[in-house]
Chains A and B, each alone.
Chain A
């Protein structure tokens, strides 16, 4: 059953309070009132209303101040200002401070009811959105559990049996038959890798990354990441040039996850660059920050994909030739970088290549 919407009215004029109460009570709302801003804020904390009507001009703290406090307390509460000096500028200012709507005095009962009803709908939508978002998070976590138990372990068992079978039949199979088994194994290996990547995406927990922070050299991190993708690059005849301008201050971080983040980006650069292409990885200190730039002359990212490349499970319209993608690599990378209080951005043009820039704060020296 739905609860009765609760409305708080804050106004210093008793006649306004009385008439508002009268108008709204008829529409089946529960009304609470306050004669000034301070009292109003107390009532807000006690009653947790859905809507607040607040007079802009009151003795004591002003309506605008009340708006700010409401925002701070609970941004889902919908505030509406009542204004006796209905100028555009005061209304605009109130809206900027977070007011959802404004009610110019004098107003008719219908005007007030209409605004109240719209605002109640808005509050409902806001709360629903929050609930849905929470539900989505929960689904995500459950998905992780399902993937891990229901997919990963049977797949692993199949693969292990394949290994066993291949070993048992080694002397009995023709080369062609062995080749078939190998192909089966390689397809299962791909699937397992994909499942593992998904699991990884869901289990990157920022707080646990932060527990293992220590002074970390960015030079070493970049070198390890480049080494990791080098083989793939060599196969595609892509050159990876690194330019690391030392000396670097260390950053406070976790090398393992930082290497992973960089491998995702440089690996992508290799995936999305044609044979014979070039990748340049540079790192330098800039403005108390370490800047790492990964630039390729590959296929680039289309303007429509660009805003979404860091989203979970997003795969863009540009498909790399003969490569697999999980749609989570960059999402993981972003989460790792953000856990390091850093930021990541991308600039790209279709057909011209992409440039990823990572900024990480350098470790503050103890004084």
Chain B
């Protein structure tokens, strides 16, 4: 899995450290961006297999903006996204009329902070697998 590149976009260094440790341990190659702007730039520079995205950043739900921008870019849309947020309850207010887990992106999943190691690894693996299968079908 050493060749699998993951990117975390989250502005809380403690969460980032906690999550990164678990992923490092599982031999993923993990990069970090501490704000949406750096995150998007890193993502565009390419080569990432999966994005872990925090929703509540900066002055509000800036993670949602990131998700929308990714959605508009045909290339970035291919990258699976794991949304990690502390605000499952409030998600419904951000997306009124939608189920609690709004499908922000073509391939995504949602986990609530804090994330247990086993659950985190399980979701990451599942998303990578799903994305690989999709790619194989498309090719």
A200 touches B89 (CB 8 A): yes
Interface of chain B residues 93 through 116 with chain A (CB within 8 A): 97, 113-116
Closest to A169 in B: B21
Contact-residue bracket for chain A:
20 to 34
Q: How large is the interface on B (under 10, 10 to 19, 20 to 34, 35 or more residues)?
A: 10 to 19
Q: Which of B12, B22, B89, B92 contacts A163 (CB 8 A)?
A: B22
CA separation between A10 and B126, bound complex, in Å?
Answer: 78
How many contacts A-B (CB < 8 Å)? 57
Known: A156-B113, A157-B12. A164 touches B18 (CB 8 A): yes
Q: Given the complex of chains A and B, what is the CA–CA distance between A167 and B22 in angstroms?
A: 6
Given known A-B contacts A159-B114, A163-B114, A167-B117, A199 and B89 have beta carbons under 8 A apart: yes
Q: How far is the CA of A156 from the CA of B117 in the complex (A)?
A: 14
The residue in A159, A160, A161, A166 that gathers the most chain B C-beta atoms within 10 A of its C-beta is A160
Interface residues in A137-175 by Cβ distance below 8 A to B read: 152-153, 156-168, 170
Indicate if A32 sits at the interface (CB-CB under 8 A): no
Chain A nearest CB from B85 CB (Å) reads 10
B25, closest chain A residue (CB): A167
Which residues of the partner chain B approach A159 to less than 8 Å between Cβ atoms? 18, 114
A161 contact set on B, CB distance < 8 A: 14, 17-18
A80 to chain B, nearest CB (A): 48
Closest to A159 in B: B114
Instruction: State the CA gap A82–B47 with chains docked (Å).
Output: 88
A203 an interface residue at 8 Å Cβ cutoff? yes
Whether A160 and B25, one on each chain, are in contact in the complex, defined by CB atoms closer than 8 angstroms, is no
In the complex, A89 has a CB within 8 A of chain B = no
- Whether a CB of chain B sits under 8 angstroms from the CB of A192 is yes
The smallest beta-carbon distance between A149 and chain B, in angstroms, is: 10
Contacts of B18 on A, CB cut-off 8 Å? 157, 159-165
Question: Does the CB pair A160–B19 fall under 8 Å?
Answer: yes
- Chain B's closest residue to A154 (CB) is B14
List A contacts of B14 (CB < 8 A): 157-158, 160-161
Q: Which residues on A sit within 8 Å (CB–CB) of B12?
A: 153, 157
Q: In the complex, what's the smallest C-beta–C-beta distance from A183 to chain B, in angstroms?
A: 16
Residues of B within 8 A of A164 (CB): 17-22
A27 proximal to B (CB < 8 A): no
A330 to chain B, nearest CB (A): 20
Give the residue of B15, B20, B89, B97 whose beta carbon is less than 8 angstroms from that of A157: B15
Residue of A nearest to B17 (CB): A164
Q: Is the CB of B86 within 8 A of A160?
A: no
Q: What are the residues of chain B within 8 A of A160 when measuring CB–CB?
A: 14-15, 17-19, 113-115
Q: Which of A152, A165, A170 contacts B86 (CB 8 A)?
A: A152
**How long is the Cα–Cα vector from A167 to B92 in the complex, in angstroms?**
33
Which residues does chain A contribute within 8 Å of B21, judged by CB atoms?
163-165, 167-168
**A246→B114 CA distance, assembly (Å):** 42
Interface centre among B22, B113, B114 (most CB of A within 10 A): B114
Query: What 0/1 readout, one digit per residue, does chain B (110-139) give for beta carbons within 8 Å of chain A?
Result: 000111110000000000000000000000
Known: A163-B114, A163-B115, A163-B117. 14 other contacts (CB 8 A): A152-B86, A157-B18, A157-B114, A159-B18, A160-B14, A160-B15, A160-B17, A160-B19, A161-B14, A164-B17, A164-B22, A167-B22, A168-B21, A200-B89
- Listed by A's residue number, 23 A-B pairs whose Cβ atoms lie within 8 Å are A152-B86, A153-B113, A156-B86, A156-B113, A157-B14, A157-B15, A157-B18, A160-B14, A160-B18, A160-B113, A160-B114, A160-B115, A161-B18, A163-B22, A163-B114, A164-B19, A164-B21, A165-B21, A166-B117, A167-B21, A167-B22, A167-B25, A200-B89
